[in-house]
Amino acid sequence: MIILGIETSCDETGISIYDNKLGILTNKLFSQNIIHTKYGGIMPEIASKNHYKKIFTVLNQALNKSKKKIQDINIIAYSAGPGLPNSLLIGTTLAKSISLIYKIPSVPINHLEAHIMSIMINKDKPNFPFISLITSGAHTILCIVKGYGKYKIIGQSLDDSAGELFDKISILLKLKLPGGKYISKLSKYSNKNLNFPKPLINKNTLNFSFSGLKTHIFNYIKNNKLNFNNKANIAFSLQESITTILVEKIKLASKKYKINNLSIVGGVSSNNYLRKKMYNLIKFNKNVFFNPKKLCTDNAAMIAYTGWIKYSLDKKIRNNLKIDIKSKWKINEKF
């Protein structure tokens, strides 16, 4: 089976061709990071316009690279939410048009579920049940994955997400998007830990809160000179606080639910410092799973793969052209 994956939930235009026997044939991405850096954050109108401008080129590139034609596709999987409504509509319209014209079944995919499932694309993957920490630009969610499509949310951010903090502080430090990537690069030049707060770290809860840390850093920046050295120290200390919080919460979840298979997915999971801290847990008999970097940040391969799983397991989900987008769509909620 050949699956076409389409991702346009935020600012990345992704098209992937996935073969259920051979794996990912191609995973193409057009990133709008440079465009949105100019505005200090993602501008929804500009994101959807750029999806529209680029999606046909990216589709052609993906088909050419995998040496496939539209007629070779057996299933179309597309991000139907959560995300920016006008961005989701571009990918959804493309999916439904191809589906209608070529009579190919189409499957709406929950973008967050696709992040969770992305870990299963790899050869080295966790057995069920495992704990998944989704840490992306918009979400920080801890859940137990009991099986395909079986998710129990056990914690989440009460305010900002970890990725949002990386992005906001990065703009204040005059760095580029994606913030986490550039904060991580700059942190290597730091010579001092500024000991920023780590909200909820010692509390017996699996929820997260990052807004206090954000306000603390806003005030620090207001009251201190921003030379290169100080910027590097802010970058290091922010990364230190966020990664410590993430690791401590996943450790607590592992202890509470007695589950030793731990995975971290989503854009923030590409952070090397976080990976190093997590791999330290192997000493304590934890099995730690990360994606290759291309599967951490938004991509269409995870959509195609999840589409294949959904198509195989749930006959009702196929080819319903009446299905709308769902810009607010919880992981454990049916479409």
> Which spans of this chain sit near Zn ion (rule: CB under 5 A)?
136, 298
- Report d(CA 175, CA 228) in Å as an integer: 12
* Pick 68 or 330: Cβ nearer Zn ion: 330
Query: If you ran DSSP here, which 8-state letter would residue 173 be given?
Result: T
Query: Can residue 271 be called a binding residue for ligand KG4 (CB under 6 A)?
Result: yes
- Report d(CA 99, CA 84) in Å as an integer: 22
Where are any strands of DSSP class E within the chain?
2-7, 12-19, 23-31, 75-81, 106-110, 130-135, 140-147, 150-156, 261-265, 287-290
> Shortest approach of ligand KG4 to residue 193 CB, angstroms?
18
**Which position has the token pair 């294949």?**
308
* Pick 243 or 297: Cβ nearer Zn ion: 297
Choose the one of Zn ion, ligand KG4, none that binds residue 181, judging by a C-beta under 5 to 8 angstroms depending on kind. ligand KG4
Q: Are 203 and 151 in contact (CB under 8 A)?
A: no
Choose the one of Zn ion, ligand KG4, none that binds residue 184, judging by a C-beta under 5 to 8 angstroms depending on kind. ligand KG4
Q: Which of 270, 307, 309, 326 binds ligand KG4 (CB under 6 A)?
A: 270
Residue 322 burial (10 A CB sphere; 0-12, 13-18, 19+): exposed
Residue 327 burial (10 A CB sphere; 0-12, 13-18, 19+): middle
- The contacts of residue 122 (CB under 8 Å, 6+ apart) are 289, 291, 292, 295
Choose the one of Zn ion, ligand KG4, none that binds residue 180, judging by a C-beta under 5 to 8 angstroms depending on kind. ligand KG4
Residues numbered 175 to 194 that lie near ligand KG4 (CB under 6 A) are 178-181, 184
Choose the one of Zn ion, ligand KG4, none that binds residue 66, judging by a C-beta under 5 to 8 angstroms depending on kind. none
* Pick 50 or 184: Cβ nearer ligand KG4: 184
- Report d(CA 298, CA 266) in Å as an integer: 7
One symbol per residue from 112 to 151: x for binding ligand KG4 (CB under 6 A), - otherwise; what is it?
A: ------------------------xxx-------------
# chain residues binding ligand KG4, by CB under 6 A: 19
One symbol per residue from 289 to 308: x for binding ligand KG4 (CB under 6 A), - otherwise; what is it?
A: --------xx----------
- Report d(CA 269, CA 250) in Å as an integer: 13
Phi, psi of 19, rounded to the nearest 5 degrees: -110, 125
Choose the one of ligand KG4, Zn ion, none that binds residue 297, judging by a C-beta under 5 to 8 angstroms depending on kind. ligand KG4
Query: Can residue 16 be called a binding residue for ligand KG4 (CB under 6 A)?
Result: no
* Pick 37 or 118: Cβ nearer Zn ion: 118
Query: Can residue 167 be called a binding residue for ligand KG4 (CB under 6 A)?
Result: yes
Q: Which of 18, 78, 166, 329 binds ligand KG4 (CB under 6 A)?
A: 166
Type of residue found at 244: T
> Shortest approach of ligand KG4 to residue 157 CB, angstroms?
13
CA distances from 184 to 169, 213, 231, 235, 319 (A): 12, 17, 12, 7, 42
User: Footprint of ligand KG4 on this chain (CB under 6 A)?
Assistant: 10, 136-138, 163, 166-167, 178-181, 184, 266-268, 270-271, 297-298
